[in-house]
Amino acid sequence: MTPNPTPVAGAPALSVRDLRKTYDTGVEALKGVSLDVAPGDFFALLGPNGAGKSTLIGIVSSLVNKTAGEVSVFGVDLHAHRDAAMRLIGLVPQEINFNFFEKPLDILVNYAGFYGIPRSEALPRAEEELKRALLWDKSRTMARTLSGGMKRRLMIARAMMTRPRLLILDEPTAGVDIEIRRGMWQTLKEINAAGTTIILTTHYLEEAESLCRNLAIIDRGAIVEQGPMKSLLAKLDVEGFLFDIDGTLPAALPDIPGAEMRAVDDHTLDLDMPRAMDLNRVFAAFEAAGIRVRSMRTKSNRLEELFVRMIAQGQDAQGSQAA
Ligand SMILES: Nc1ncnc2c1ncn2[C@@H]1O[C@H](COP(=O)(O)OP(=O)(O)OP(=O)(O)O)[C@@H](O)[C@H]1O
Ligand SMILES: [Mg+2]
């Protein structure tokens, strides 16, 4: 790749090639990660604790030194043109790190000043960002007194002060209740719709599902799954039903290709099937087998469970590669 100090038209917002990180302690946090994030994308980086998400983000935002590999931001090589690449990025780190004894307005204006944005320009921007974050009425109160959710929103507002082309958020909604989380999702959707590429790490599959178009799942320093959210969900998307049966079940249950069925007791059937599958097929098979359904209900959402299963499969694959 030719090092370039200015953004290259058509280049990925983020390109990571064979990125490796071994900490001084000997921990291999990244074992050769490659991924591309398209301009304008809303991209999720999912993975369990210790997977390497923050390490990856730390390297991309120049807080952590890589051991090997290449990173470029809109075609700007991070190694060759660190400052130019950094100007394109806004970072919302995992830990809240503003001064609790400053006021939100000052936090934003001072942050902009650090990036060379004059006060006259920073003030109207700060007002705009604080209003978007629903914090304008708190702009002159001590940051320490903000609630946890407000602090998280202030972190996003601060990152937006430099008008980044790529906004990276490391678990922005950790520990935030569902209502505030939804509000933050709305803010992030607006920022993305206005043209900013967003990369978000999260433990919550539900969050990734409602926000992101593409995702990578990282586990133990390696990518175990990558692609459009829709196709991953199609893989994960199994729906479970419980059927209450009139009379007793036949000895041999009907075979429905793609679905898994078992009798819970004499008059209850448990069925798992792909969400894309037509329930009529199930009813046709029941009809043919003389099974009469009295009632049915959906089982609880199993996405989280399936996510865990996918991680486990990735570990098996890694294990067998290593063997
Ligand atoms: N500064 C450090 N020094 C040594 N090891 C580290 C350091 N930071 C992270 N690690 C290790 O690297 C691995 C990946 O950690 P990382 O923080 O990147 O994971 P994560 O995916 O962000 O996890 P979480 O979801 O818990 O935030 C872990 O084993 C962690 O203990
Ligand atoms: Mg982390």
Give the 3-state secondary structure of the chain: CCCCCCCCCCCCCEEEEEEEEECCCCCEEEEEEEEEECCCCEEEEECCCCCCHHHHHHHHCCCCCCCEEEEEECCEECCCCHHHHHCCEEEECCCCCCCCCCCHHHHHHHHHHHCCCCHHHHHHHHHHHHHHCCCHHHCCCCHHHCCHHHHHHHHHHHHHCCCCCEEEEECCCCCCCHHHHHHHHHHHHHHHHCCCEEEEEECCHHHHHHHCCEEEEEECCEEEEEEEHHHHHHHHCEEEEEEEEECCCCCCCCCCCCCEEEEEECCEEEEEEECCCCHHHHHHHHHHCCCEEEEEEECCCCHHHHHHHHHHHHHHHHHHHHC
Q: Which of 193, 227, 261 is the last residue of a domain?
A: 227
Percentage of the chain beyond pLDDT 70 is 90
CA 86 to chain centre: 21
Atom 6, ligand 1: which residue's CA is nearest? Answer: 23
With a 6 Å cutoff on the Cβ, whether 58 touches ligand 1 is no
Q: Is the CB of 75 under 6 A from ligand 1?
A: no
Ligand nearest to the CA of 19: 1
238-246 vs 268-274, strand pairing mode: antiparallel
196 assigned to some structural domain? yes
Strand partners, 36: 15
Shared domain check, 255 and 203: no
Atom from ligand 1 closest to the CA of residue 221: 14
Q: Is 29 in the pocket of ligand 1 (CB under 6 A)?
A: yes
What is the structure's pLDDT at 321?
47
Of 114-118, 167-171, 296-300, the least confident = 296-300
Atom of ligand 1 nearest to the CA of 218: 21
Q: Is residue 322 included in any domain, yes or no?
A: no
Whether residue 232 is predicted with pLDDT greater than 90 in this model: the reply is: no
Dihedral class, residue 44 (left if φ above 0, else alpha if ψ from -120 to 50, else beta): beta
244 lies in the same domain as 140 = no
Confidence (pLDDT) at 66 = 97
The reply to whether 74 and 183 lie within a common domain is yes
pLDDT confidence of residue 230: 82
pLDDT-based confidence at residue 304 (cuts at 50, 70, 90): low
Same domain, 244 and 222: no
Would residue 162 count as lying in a domain?
Answer: yes
48, 131, 218, 237 from 167: Cα distances, Å? 22, 19, 19, 29
Q: Is 314 in the pocket of ligand 1 (CB under 6 A)?
A: no
pLDDT of residue 252: 86
pLDDT(63) > 70: yes
Q: Are residues 253 and 182 in the same domain?
A: no
94 and 29 inside one domain: yes
The answer to whether residue 312 is domain-embedded is: no
Cβ 51 under 6 angstroms from ligand 1: yes
| Amino acid at position 135, single letter | L
Task: Give me ligand 2 centre to Cα 183, in Å.
Answer: 22
CB 222 within 8 A of CB 50: no
Same structural domain, 262 and 196: no
Nearest to 45 by CA among 200, 157, 195: 200
Range of the domain at 26: 14-227
Burial category of 265 from C-beta neighbours within 10 Å (exposed 0-12, middle 13-18, buried 19 and up): exposed
- pLDDT tens, position by position, 184-219: 899 999 999 999 999 999 877 778 888 999 999 898
**How confident is the model at residue 212, as a pLDDT?**
93
Same domain, yes or no, for 140 and 209?
yes
Which atom of ligand 1 lies nearest, measured to the CA of 58? 18
Domain shared by 195 and 256, yes or no: no
Report yes or no on 5 lying in a domain: no
- Judged against a pLDDT cut of 70, whether residue 62 lies above it is answered with yes
pLDDT band at 303 (very low <50, low <70, confident <90, very high): very low
Instruction: Evaluate if residue 294 carries a pLDDT over 90.
Output: yes
Do the domain assignments include residue 166? yes
Q: What is the pLDDT of residues 64-118, one digit of tens each?
A: 999 999 999 999 999 999 999 999 999 999 889 999 999 999 999 999 999 999 9
Q: How far out from the chain centre does Cα 264 lie?
A: 36
127 and 208 assigned to the same domain:
yes
The number of folded domains in the chain is 2
**CATH (domain of 167):** 3.40.50.300
Residue having the nearest C-alpha atom to atom 27 of ligand 1: 49
- Which of 209, 227, 245 is a domain's end point? 227
Cβ proximity of 246 and 293 under 8 Å:
yes
Give the Cα separation of 127 and 111 in Å (integer): 14
Query: Residues 128-165: pLDDT tens digits?
Result: 999 999 999 999 999 999 998 899 999 999 999 999 99
Residues 3 and 81 sit within 8 Å (Cβ to Cβ): yes
Residue 143, amino acid: A
Q: Is the pLDDT of residue 175 over 80?
A: no
88 or 237, higher pLDDT: 88
* Domain assignment present for 174: yes
Instruction: Please give the number of the atom of ligand 1 that sits closest to the Cα of 55.
Output: 18
Q: Rounded CA gap, 86 and 79, in Å?
A: 11
- Indicate whether 125 belongs to any domain: yes
Amino acid at 298: T
Q: What angle do CA 7, 13, 17 make, to 5 degrees?
A: 105
Nearest to 215 by CA among 55, 203, 164: 203
> Which tens digits make up the pLDDT trace of 86-101?
999 999 998 899 999 9
Of 227, 258, 281, which residue constitutes the final position of a domain? 227
Q: Mean of the per-residue pLDDT values for the chain?
A: 89
217 shares a domain with 143: yes
Alpha-carbon distance of 82 to 78, in angstroms, equals 5
User: CATH no. for residue 241?
Assistant: 3.30.70.1560
Could you tell me if 258 and 212 lie in one domain? no
